[in-house]
Structure 1
Amino acid sequence: MITPAPPKVFSDNRRTAARRRSRSLQRRPDAARYILDDMVEDVLERLAFLRLNPRRALIIGDWTGALAVQLRTTGCDVTVAEPADGFIEEQPFPENGFDLVASLGTLDTVNDLPGALIHIRNALAPEGLAIASFMGAGSLPQLRAAMLDADGERPAPRLHPMVDVRAGGQLLQRAGWSDPVVDSRSLDVRFRSLDSLVADLRAQALGNVLMRAGPALGRTALATARAAFGVRTVERFEILTLSGWRR
């Protein structure tokens, strides 16, 4: 029986372009990176709690390099992978036998998320740990509301669908992760305008990479969105973290 290919919700080309643009924007001294910084800190806290000192680790998506630096200080042999450089999460990984695989901020825009989670598990050594963090359901409610106001009666696809805690647990069971744990945490950030939020999203590769994205907002619609978003608005980012072992 041939398994049908997953639907193409996301554009591979747009995803790569967004991550490359983010890397370029990160050269600026004031570039936003708080989402990835939070994910890196969370991984380190989990490892410390578990008293796990991996000997080999695969780090996917951490363009700050911070997690790799921290792990290498403990003597860990770290391999770094980045989708913008051609690493494909929806295919079997070229290496395996890792004690730790950490995927940061990438899995929310893959078309075959169950497949990617299976490949992560297969890349682990026995008793290896996987941690995957990405944007989850409930993120960007203020932006979503502003876009609906701007589009009026004909809303366009501007923000992609996201995974919630319940769906995350089901995905881990399907992918064969042992002792799966799924949790979500909120990160609230205050913005002075809609434009400042959009700038932060672009700098962190969090923009729209849908295969069939909506048309650009016209001048009137953009003004409506800016007014709806307001000034000094607090926006919420929900970070979903999946973890599990290969037993």
Structure 2
Amino acid sequence: MTLIDRTRARAVETLTLDSPHNRNALSAPLVAELADALTDCAKNTDVRAIVLTHTGNTFCAGADLREPPPPAALVGLLRQIVELPKPVLARVTGHARAGGLGLLAACDMSAASPRATFAFTEVRIGVAPAVISLPLLPRTDPRALARYYLTGETFDATEATRIGLLTTTADDVDEALTPLLDGLRRASPQGLAETKALLTARVLETFDRDAADLTALSARLFSSAPAREGMTAFLERRDPAWVV
């Protein structure tokens, strides 16, 4: 079963998350398949830029709790997007949760419709947004992250744009992306690669400095008793024991 659909038009490769059974959650197979697709795009001289989008009403529901990827694999995917010598743009017309927001932060640009909603839900299942902080902390408003990391509350696309998680929000996402993609098509591959390297240098410094510690933190938290209670409660559609 293919979890990533691929199409190409005028040098732009579109990678579509297509895992409806789990709302495009980051399962181990999906992470591996997306990483392979990005590797192919990086090597292909006919690809100028990549659009990452989704089927259904959810961009990405976060980590798949039934078949989660190893933390190191998720770190590798996020770093791959940041390091890719070609721009990666997110096209979001549905909801994004937890690890899905890490994907958005790793992308170079992103556009979402007003129908999209966002939430860092990790704290509500007994873990923390550890590895996704690698691209998020250097790129997103720290006071806003404090609020949304700690409360797990949902926010809309306008707020996501204000805090730096998105580039823009628009009723017609494709119309919003058109001038961005046209600009990329007019840019030289060398110019894009070198300019992206300038823009991502500080993000990659965060990966170099913190990836090992945050990977270990994620693994420790997900194997803890509170996380088992939180994930079980989520799957059983009930409140975990600590809710008061």
After TM superposition, the score normalised by the length of structure 1 is 0.28
1 or 2, which has the higher strand percentage? 1
The structure number with the bigger radius of gyration is: 1
1 or 2, which has the higher helix percentage? 2
Q: Higher RCO, 1 or 2 (CA under 8 Å, sep at least 6)?
A: 1
